[in-house]
Structure 1
Amino acid sequence: MAPSASTATATKNIPSNDKTIRVNGKASSPDLPAQELQRDPLEVKYRDFFWTYTEEPHRTRRLAIIKAHPEVTKLCGPEPLTKYVVLGVVALQIACAYVLRNYSFFSWQFWALAYVVGATANQNLFLAIHEISHNLAFRSPTANRLFAIIANLPIGIPYSASFRPYHLTHHKSLGVDGLDTDLPTALEAVFLDSILGKAFFCTFQIFFYAIRPMTVFPVPFTRVSATNLAVQFIFDYVILTTMGKEAMLYFLLSSFLAGSLHPLAGHFIAEHYVYETVTPTQKDPNNRVPLPETFSYYGPLNFLTYNVGYHNEHHDFPAVPWTRLPKLYEIAREFYDELPRHESWTYVLWRFIFDENVGIRCRVKRKEGGRLVGQTKAATAAQPVAQVADWKEDELEA
């Protein structure tokens, strides 16, 4: 089994224009100075994102798994349990807001409940919306769009309608610069790639994930967007007028803490930041291997987060719901056991901040490929025929 991402010693790769990243052996990039070409590439100081020209790995692995285990396609489809979990968590958050309505925002009880219960609950709702964005709560797409708006309520800010096109584009355009809004921008890399910068990023990462997509590309404002906005406004108004501002502040603080220095927030970084190089296998005599760009986590916090830690599995089969991802892993175990993984989301955050070998730039990027999801019919018609035909895979992928 490959070493875990939380225990292996981190080293830096050399960014190059090659289709794969050379881990051992001589550096081959013509962009590096001659004196650096003569050094061990593992000693060269990291200075850029990991640029690659290879296709993202998930589609290839998905086809290989289906060929080896055709029964995995039976795992796809909605999970009825999701709607009951969502309604329970929404009710829990409203109850907590009611309890705190007479507490001061500055009291330790307010912050303790918001951190322990509120942040955990709202992170759960973030990931419920993520699950619903793949049409995995109901068979009807419309029912999923509307139910995501219900899951959005205790978060306080309307975002479920816009999240779906951004997230599905992340799946279709993994690592593509200018399309995948999960990628840090070059500006973030300049200002945040230091211990203080990374600590700031981890503390306020919820704002980066909220604002960054809008700076990369806009998504259409649809009737679902308008419904999301209107329903959220009405809910917030009712909370303010019946329970008071402290109750509303509880929802907002819970959302902030859920995306800050909280154990569950580690999944944001754990999923796609590269924490280690890959040890070349005997199957590759030239010691050239692609850099992994998605990492799974199989620990107990998956219980609170819709099994989002099964992230390689999720990207391979986005149409498999959270309750069946462990089954997918068991069926196709030979495909997943050799992949690097994380053992602790808390340690992911700690190491991201304090390990100088890990930082904002530790992401695999591509110059081209992928496509936008959720655009207007006119924009879709303007795409290349091959990309439009790719929509036929959406039932299995998203």
Structure 2
Amino acid sequence: MARSAATTAVKEAKPPAASASAATNDDKQHDFFWTYTEEPHPLPSIQKTHSSLPLLKQTDVLKLCGPEPLTKYVVAGVVGLQVFLAYALQSTPFWSWKFWAVAYVFGATANQNLFLAIHEISHNLAFRSPLANRLLAIFANLPIGIPYSASFRPYHLTHHKSLGVDGLDTDLPTALEAFVLDSIFGKAFFCTFQIFFYAIRPMAVYRIPLTWVHLLNVVVQLSFDALLVHLASPNALLYLLLSSFLAGSLHPLAGHFIAEHYVYETVTPTQRDPDNKVPVPETFSYYGPLNVLTYNVGLHNEHHDFPAIPWTRLHAVYDIAREFYEDLPRHESWVYAIWRFIWDENVGITCRVKRKNGGRIVGGAVKWKQSEVEA
């Protein structure tokens, strides 16, 4: 590939804390891709990411930065839809095909959309005011049922600042996950219950300090949940919780979780071993129709290169800098991404690029963990 920022020469090795003894070939085949180079999206600036892009195009891309007013209206519509469906299903038995079909087809789609609305808002791309963005994220959180928007923001922004950094990027699977889930059954389990992995893993890696925004997020969410149960029924809340679970399970839109940063290039064990070096792209884009439902999160190389550009303008980034994006490896289907993740022996939990150094935490970490995660 022509784009050096998206292609990294990685060194196959045991995790830095592992024993110095030589690993077996089988160990190497099931290890992460370890690299000692910079991450491929170092700054949200085309001058840094694409230094050879003509100055006129650099200016055109940077003009796309800034909030998108449409976002708040989409969020309001989806929240309203979910509240309506929850109320409509208040008397429908939980263990019925109707309840689960509505939760899967409509509820999971809507809540995945809200997950990604919160993702968009975490970059301050709905309003110019940071406070307004925090409050909108709390509102978007309501149909999800569990308060998480306030915590998501610092972890996600750290993911951008510390892509692939072991101990900082909580999007990376842990060594325990890699050990336990390195099989077809394990990968299927991971895909089915990955929402829980993404919820619990950050707390196992490092904790962020709690703020008044976190408290407000919890108070507003629990008050909404209690009000919904009081005015409708427990089933109404169960509908929202089930929608959130299915949104992060075996659902077409959930494919983006895996498709974004897992290495899907065909890298067989024999290809990974020679000279202990392999060029591996770390971010993959998807340009298909499901982007309409997901704030264009499929344009993931573009998003990581320019996180200050909102979802409605990411296609314009691709059009302006087409020569840098069109030849990069991409996914044609999120459904196939899930299928291949489970069944392809060359794709799995360990197919992530990890780096030992670099990056930084956004929002800080609690003192008991600070010394372990500082860059």
Output the TM-score relative to the length of structure 2: 0.87
Instruction: State the one-letter code of the partner of 2:164.
Output: G
2:62 maps to 1:65: no
Instruction: State the one-letter code of the partner of 1:218.
Output: R
1:44/1:183 CA distance change after superposition, 3 Å: closer
Following TM superposition, by how much is the alpha carbon of 1:58 offset from its aligned partner in structure 2, in angstroms? 1.2
Matched-pair contact (CA < 8 Å) for 1:14–1:44: no
2:346 maps to 1:357: yes
Matched-pair contact (CA < 8 Å) for 1:14–1:46: no
Q: Point out where structure 2 has 5 or more consecutive residues left out of the alignment.
A: 3-9, 15-20, 268-274
1:49 paired residue among 29, 32, 38: 32
Question: Which residue number in structure 1 is paired with residue 12 of structure 2?
Answer: 15
Distance across 2 between alignment mates of 1:323 and 1:330: 13
**Percent identity for Structure 1 against Structure 2:** 71
Give the SS at the match of 1:239: helix
| Residues 334-388 of structure 1 deviation map (CA, whole Å, 9 limit, x = unaligned) | 1111110000000011111111111100000001110000127999x99xxxx8x
2:74 maps to 1:85: yes
Mapping for residues 163-202 of structure 1, pairs under 5 Å? 163-202=152-191
Mapping for residues 178-327 of structure 1, pairs under 5 Å? 178-277=167-266, 290-327=279-316
1:276/1:77 CA distance change after superposition, 3 Å: same
Distance across 2 between alignment mates of 1:186 and 1:192: 10
Q: Point out where structure 1 has 5 or more consecutive residues left out of the alignment.
A: 3-12, 18-29, 37-42, 279-285, 388-398
Mapping for residues 97-112 of structure 1, pairs under 5 Å? 97-112=86-101
Q: Alpha carbon RMSD of aligned pairs, Å?
A: 2.8
1:110/1:235 CA distance change after superposition, 3 Å: same
Distance across 2 between alignment mates of 1:183 and 1:377: 20
2:326 paired residue among 319, 337, 344: 337
Matched-pair contact (CA < 8 Å) for 1:277–1:291: no
1:247/1:378 CA distance change after superposition, 3 Å: closer
Distance across 1 between alignment mates of 2:313 and 2:285: 15
Output the TM-score relative to the length of structure 1: 0.82
Moved more, 353-362 or 130-139: 353-362
2:360 paired residue among 338, 352, 371: 371
Question: Which residue number in structure 1 is paired with residue 83 of structure 2?
Answer: 94
4+ aligned runs moved over 4 Å, structure 1: 30-33, 376-379
Distance across 1 between alignment mates of 2:171 and 2:196: 12
1:327/1:253 CA distance change after superposition, 3 Å: same
Following TM superposition, by how much is the alpha carbon of 1:45 offset from its aligned partner in structure 2, in angstroms? 6.6
1:307/1:224 CA distance change after superposition, 3 Å: same
Matched-pair contact (CA < 8 Å) for 2:93–2:235: yes
Matched-pair contact (CA < 8 Å) for 1:299–1:343: yes
Alignment size in residue pairs:
348
Give the SS at the match of 1:144: helix
Distance across 2 between alignment mates of 1:220 and 1:16: 33
| Residues 195-248 of structure 1 deviation map (CA, whole Å, 9 limit, x = unaligned) | 110010000000000000011000111000000000001100100000100100
Give the SS at the match of 2:280: coil
Distance across 1 between alignment mates of 2:134 and 2:51: 29
Instruction: State the one-letter code of the partner of 1:110.
Output: F
Instruction: State the one-letter code of the partner of 1:52.
Output: T
Following TM superposition, by how much is the alpha carbon of 1:99 offset from its aligned partner in structure 2, in angstroms? 1.0
Give the SS at the match of 2:164: coil
Matched-pair contact (CA < 8 Å) for 1:270–1:345: yes
